[in-house]
Structure 1
Amino acid sequence: MIEELRNLPAPAKLNLFLHVTGRRNDGYHLLETVFDLIDVGDRLTLRVRNDGALIRRDSLPGVTPEQDLTVRAARLLAEETGCRLGVDIAIDKRIPMGAGLGGGSSDAATMLLGLNRLWDLRLTRRQLMRFALRLGADVPFFVFGRTAYATGIGEKLQALPLPPATYVVVAPPVPVSTAVVFSSTGLTRDTKPLTISGLSRESSARRGRNDLEPVVCAAYPAVASALAALKSAARQAGLNADSARMTGSGSCVFLPVPDESVATSIQQDLSRRRNGSAETVGEVFVARSLARHPLSDWAFVPGA
């Protein structure tokens, strides 16, 4: 029996665009987006317990066990499968909270995939995705584990193979509340969906937008400043400034770039602005797309 799984990756995501196309009677918003995994993320270490306890060793300030998605994911699996084992959870947290990068959702998905192996549950991807949806609208995507076109509340996923991509990402030093953004009276909720047939990364970046971006930029000046700086850097590099946009409902903004050298040049330019002037854009890093989640194969495949 496996006793410990160390440094399990929980990759972040970018929304290449994010359209709010309506609202359900239960209050959930209907969305259209393309999710892309990137090679930046958290790391989880899981150690089996024989007493059934579910313990997070490095709790986040202000987050109770009832709110912690990783603990909730473990509890859900234990309850639904009847497993009497427990787990010690340690997370090397690298994805900033409230950034629109899906950190909490990715951690929860990695918990589901990791416990599937640690507790030898032999659950299929379809089963894990059903559990994932009960934890949050973004969690199924991380279990799905591939670049995806998503509709519904984000849970209806269609694989969308795209060429490898490089991004410059700016993380302003402010968390954004998803609930506050989606409850804003200034949010438009009637964007006409795109036609997905033949959609490419380039066309999605050109034709799409993030409908939450104006609301967040109006409420959080640091996000507006970071986005303006990234657009300026794009123009100086001869790139389309309109391809710079916010991801998800959080504070991070990103820019697709043609190669690593351009990415490094823009990163250095924005970092100099952060360190050498009154303008603070936040942490600047380069990220690359991931074709598949690193733990994608940890879902059970019957007959394999």
Structure 2
Amino acid sequence: MTAEAFAPAKINLTLHVTGQRADGYHLLDSLVVFADVGDRLRLTPGDQILIDVSGEFAEGVPTDDRNLIWQAAEGAGWYGRVQLDKVLPHGAGIGGGSSDAATVLKTLAAQDLPTPKEFQLSLGADIPVCMAAQASRMQGIGDHVTPVKLPKLPALLVNPGAHVPTGAVFSALAQRDNPPMPSHIPDFATPQECAAWLAGQRNDMQGPAAGIAPLVDQVLAELNCTGNILLARMSGSGATCFALYPTMKAAHHAAYEIETAHSDWWCVATELS
């Protein structure tokens, strides 16, 4: 049976690096939400794994066993053709590859091909939270995922086309034992309340990423000049940045401002939840 699925962009509203284990895995504490923009997948059973990639960001996406989609399908014991419409930029800090793989695993689990959590984590720390695909607190090495109640957050996502290797950003961290988020995340009635609380939190990878790709600071500076902005921050290991607004109308106005100045930047107004 052919199945179609949606793999949403993952946005780290916060990303606190709180330690590093002896085996090298970093410990994280992150508030994660998902956008209403993402990749689309179509899975058709067959006798071998094949990946076809189309879409704006198809170039550079591997179609062999380097692709997390391939690894996810093979680990679940599924073979067939995966058609991927690549809407999200890759290597962008918004979990495109992880969300694709997690979506494959969720789709196959619904067809009685579940995979153990250990295997999911072997594909990457973002896989479990991307399988949840809802507002969550992600802790540890990605193995602790707790649902969080948040209001819908009007937002603008901007990527200037800079690729920031995650490993290089971790290597550039000056400190790895930073404080976590507060133990309790409050209930927020509005985007304004949520943004005000988020302003007291961090993305510990933002500074190191900007050191590697100075365009990150430029994007943040320009987002902070848009009208009605509540908060601007980088997502994940970069270089995609997000800005929060009180309404979708304000987010669309900001998108127009950024697109007018930088037609070569990826710029999408979206709702996060």
Asked if Structure 1 and Structure 2 have the same fold, meaning a TM-score greater than 0.5 normalized by the shorter chain, the answer is yes
Instruction: Classify 1:128/1:231 alpha carbon distance in 2 versus 1 (closer, same or farther; 3 Å).
Output: farther
Matched residue, 2:190: none
Q: Which residue of 2 aligns with 1:214?
A: 207
CA distance in structure 2 between the aligned counterparts of 1:271 and 1:103, rounded to whole angstroms: 22
- CA shift digits 1:169-226 (9 cap, x unpaired): 1111112100111112x43212211223143433541211111111111111222211
2:97 counterpart of 1:104: yes
Give 2:39's aligned amino acid.
D
What RMSD over aligned residues (CA atoms) do the two structures have, in Å?
Answer: 1.9
Contact 1:129 1:143 in 2 (8 A): no
Residue 62 of structure 1 deviates from its aligned partner by 6.5
Structure 1: stretches of 5+ with no match in the other structure? 79-84, 291-304
- The equivalent position to 1:286 in structure 2, one of 253, 269, 272, is 269
- What is the match of residue 183 of structure 2? 196
Supply the distance in 2 between the matched residues of 1:197 and 1:62 (Cα, whole angstroms): 39
Please give the alpha-carbon distance, in whole angstroms, between the structure 1 residues aligned to 2:209 and 2:251.
Answer: 25
Aligned to 2:36: 39
SS of the residue 2:199 aligns to: helix
Match of 2:65 in 1: 66
Q: What is the SS of the residue equivalent to 1:217?
A: helix
Q: Is there any run of 5+ residues in structure 2 with no aligned partner, and where? A: 188-193
Cα-to-partner distance string for 1:22-73 (whole Å, 9 max, x where unaligned): 1111111111110101101000011011x3x111123863736231100000
Picking from 112, 123, 139, the partner of 1:121 is 112
Following superposition, the deviation at residue 146 of structure 1 comes to: 2.0
Counterpart residue number, 1:48: 45
2:157 touches 2:240 (CA, 8 Å); kept in 1?
A: yes
Shift of 1:145: 2.8
How far apart are the structure 2 equivalents of 1:211 and 1:229? 21
CA contact under 8 A between 1:130 and 1:140: conserved in structure 2? no
Residue aligning to 1:254: 242
Say how many residue pairs are matched: 263
Aligned to 1:298: none
Of all paired residues, the percent bearing the same amino acid is 33
Task: Name the structure where helix makes up a greater proportion of residues.
Answer: 1
> Which residue is equivalent to 1:150?
138
Residues 1:129 and 1:192: Cα distance change in structure 2 (over 3 Å): same
Q: TM-score, normalised by structure 1?
A: 0.81
Q: What secondary structure does 1:72 align onto?
A: helix
Residue range with higher mean Cα deviation, 218-227 or 132-141: 218-227
